Amino acid sequence: MMSKNKILFLAANVLMMAAFACRAETIVVKGQGISFAPSVIKAQVGDIIAFKEMTGHFVDPVANLWPEGAEPMHSQMGADYNYEVKKEGLYVFKCPPHWGARMGAVMLVGNPADLSSTLDKYFSIAETEADAKPAKGLLKKFKETLAK
């Protein structure tokens, strides 16, 4: 038989998990032409990023423009895809076939304390690493969005 304290503990945990699940949002990102819409995303840990209308597109992280330890995004060509955000930070992702045309997006998750230094680091990487160069415009747009 369970003690009263154990029952209360289990009930409190169930309520906390339910409250967390209720706060989570689904943010839809669509593949439109050679763009993701939206291309700047603000999310919270626990949110689902739902990629829709992905005909001719798929999603991958941009190397070195991803929070350390965060699970990478990898979808299949043309398939809808859900990504559950599990870590706070700044994410840059791309559609590899259209990356030369700058089909990508920037996602801010939570309120990371090191956002300014991370953004400076990402700009530096975008200046020097060939695969990251298309991210410069996305990062600039993201920075302008922050200033508003």
Q: What is the CATH number of the domain that holds 84?
A: 2.60.40.420
**Domains in the chain: how many in total?**
1
At 79, the amino acid letter reads A
Chain Cα centroid distance, residue 8: 36
User: pLDDT-derived band of residue 146, with 50, 70 and 90 as boundaries?
Assistant: confident
Mean pLDDT to the nearest integer, 85-92: 98
Is 22 a known ligand-binding residue? no
The whole model's pTM is what? Answer: 0.83
Report the distance separating Cα 81 and Cα 61, nearest Å. 14
Q: What is the pLDDT of residue 3?
A: 61
CB 139 within 8 A of CB 106: yes
Chain Cα centroid distance, residue 129: 21
Is 74 a known ligand-binding residue? no
Examine the pLDDT at 51 and tell me if it is beyond 90: yes
Domain that holds residue 90: 4-147
Is 103 a known ligand-binding residue? yes
Chain Cα centroid distance, residue 15: 27
Q: What is the pLDDT of residue 15?
A: 47
Average pLDDT of every residue of the chain? 90
Is 95 a known ligand-binding residue? yes
User: pLDDT-derived band of residue 74, with 50, 70 and 90 as boundaries?
Assistant: very high
